[in-house]
Amino acid sequence: MKVEFENSQKLNGSEIKELDLVDLDKLKGRDIIELETAFRQLYKGYVPVPAIDMRFQALVAARAAKINPKDLEELDADAFMQVCATVRDFLVK
Protein backbone atom coordinates (compact mmCIF):
# COMPACT_ATOMS: atom_id res chain seq x y z
CA MET A 1 0.00 0.00 0.00
CA LYS A 2 1.59 3.26 -1.11
CA VAL A 3 0.89 6.74 0.19
CA GLU A 4 1.70 9.29 -2.50
CA PHE A 5 2.58 12.82 -1.42
CA GLU A 6 1.71 16.01 -3.27
CA ASN A 7 5.13 17.48 -2.43
CA SER A 8 8.47 15.75 -2.04
CA GLN A 9 9.35 14.88 1.54
CA LYS A 10 12.67 14.33 3.29
CA LEU A 11 13.02 10.99 5.03
CA ASN A 12 16.37 9.86 6.38
CA GLY A 13 18.11 12.47 4.24
CA SER A 14 16.46 11.27 1.02
CA GLU A 15 13.78 13.00 -1.02
CA ILE A 16 10.70 10.81 -1.37
CA LYS A 17 7.45 11.29 -3.25
CA GLU A 18 5.72 8.30 -1.68
CA LEU A 19 5.93 6.01 1.32
CA ASP A 20 5.39 2.33 0.76
CA LEU A 21 3.56 0.70 3.65
CA VAL A 22 4.38 -2.59 1.98
CA ASP A 23 3.94 -4.73 5.07
CA LEU A 24 0.68 -3.17 6.31
CA ASP A 25 -1.35 -6.05 4.91
CA LYS A 26 1.25 -8.52 6.16
CA LEU A 27 1.13 -7.46 9.81
CA LYS A 28 -0.05 -10.14 12.22
CA GLY A 29 -2.24 -9.78 15.25
CA ARG A 30 0.85 -10.19 17.42
CA ASP A 31 2.36 -7.11 15.70
CA ILE A 32 -0.66 -4.98 16.58
CA ILE A 33 -0.70 -6.30 20.17
CA GLU A 34 3.03 -5.64 20.55
CA LEU A 35 2.68 -2.12 19.16
CA GLU A 36 -0.34 -1.36 21.33
CA THR A 37 1.47 -2.62 24.43
CA ALA A 38 4.49 -0.44 23.64
CA PHE A 39 2.19 2.49 22.85
CA ARG A 40 0.38 2.24 26.17
CA GLN A 41 3.72 2.07 28.03
CA LEU A 42 5.04 5.15 26.22
CA TYR A 43 1.88 7.22 26.54
CA LYS A 44 0.52 6.55 29.97
CA GLY A 45 -2.51 8.79 29.44
CA TYR A 46 -5.86 7.17 28.83
CA VAL A 47 -6.45 6.39 25.16
CA PRO A 48 -9.70 4.43 24.77
CA VAL A 49 -9.12 3.49 21.10
CA PRO A 50 -5.46 3.48 20.04
CA ALA A 51 -6.47 2.91 16.39
CA ILE A 52 -7.66 6.53 16.18
CA ASP A 53 -4.60 8.02 17.89
CA MET A 54 -2.02 9.45 15.46
CA ARG A 55 0.87 8.33 17.66
CA PHE A 56 -0.31 4.73 17.43
CA GLN A 57 -0.98 5.07 13.71
CA ALA A 58 2.60 6.32 13.26
CA LEU A 59 3.93 3.28 15.14
CA VAL A 60 1.97 0.94 12.87
CA ALA A 61 3.01 2.85 9.73
CA ALA A 62 6.66 2.73 10.74
CA ARG A 63 6.46 -1.02 11.35
CA ALA A 64 4.82 -1.50 7.94
CA ALA A 65 7.39 0.72 6.17
CA LYS A 66 10.30 -0.70 8.19
CA ILE A 67 11.47 2.71 9.36
CA ASN A 68 11.93 4.46 12.68
CA PRO A 69 8.66 6.01 13.95
CA LYS A 70 10.54 9.21 14.84
CA ASP A 71 11.42 9.64 11.15
CA LEU A 72 7.72 9.93 10.30
CA GLU A 73 7.46 12.93 12.61
CA GLU A 74 9.76 14.84 10.24
CA LEU A 75 7.27 14.67 7.36
CA ASP A 76 5.27 17.78 6.54
CA ALA A 77 1.98 17.85 8.44
CA ASP A 78 -0.07 17.08 5.32
CA ALA A 79 2.09 14.07 4.42
CA PHE A 80 2.05 12.85 8.03
CA MET A 81 -1.74 13.11 8.11
CA GLN A 82 -2.00 11.15 4.84
CA VAL A 83 0.08 8.34 6.33
CA CYS A 84 -1.94 8.34 9.55
CA ALA A 85 -5.26 8.38 7.68
CA THR A 86 -4.18 5.41 5.58
CA VAL A 87 -3.29 3.42 8.69
CA ARG A 88 -6.44 4.55 10.53
CA ASP A 89 -8.60 3.36 7.64
CA PHE A 90 -6.77 0.04 7.67
CA LEU A 91 -7.19 -0.39 11.44
CA VAL A 92 -10.87 0.49 11.66
CA LYS A 93 -12.18 -1.56 8.73
Task: Please give the residue range of the domain that contains residue 61.
Answer: 23-91
What pLDDT was estimated at residue 49?
84
In a domain, 6, yes or no: no
In a domain, 15, yes or no: no
In a domain, 17, yes or no: no
In a domain, 1, yes or no: no
In a domain, 12, yes or no: no
What pLDDT was estimated at residue 89?
95
Express each pLDDT in 6-60 by its tens digit.
Answer: 999 988 888 999 999 988 989 999 999 999 988 888 877 677 788 999 999 999 9
In a domain, 9, yes or no: no
* Total count of domains within the chain: 1
pLDDT confidence tier of residue 77, bands split at 50, 70 and 90: very high
pLDDT confidence tier of residue 66, bands split at 50, 70 and 90: very high
pLDDT confidence tier of residue 81, bands split at 50, 70 and 90: very high
- pTM of this structure: 0.88
Residue 56 — φ and ψ, nearest 5°?
A: -70, -40
Q: CB within 8 A of 83, min separation 6: which ones?
A: 3, 19, 21, 57, 58, 61, 72, 75
In a domain, 62, yes or no: yes
* Residue 34, H or E segment: helix 29-42
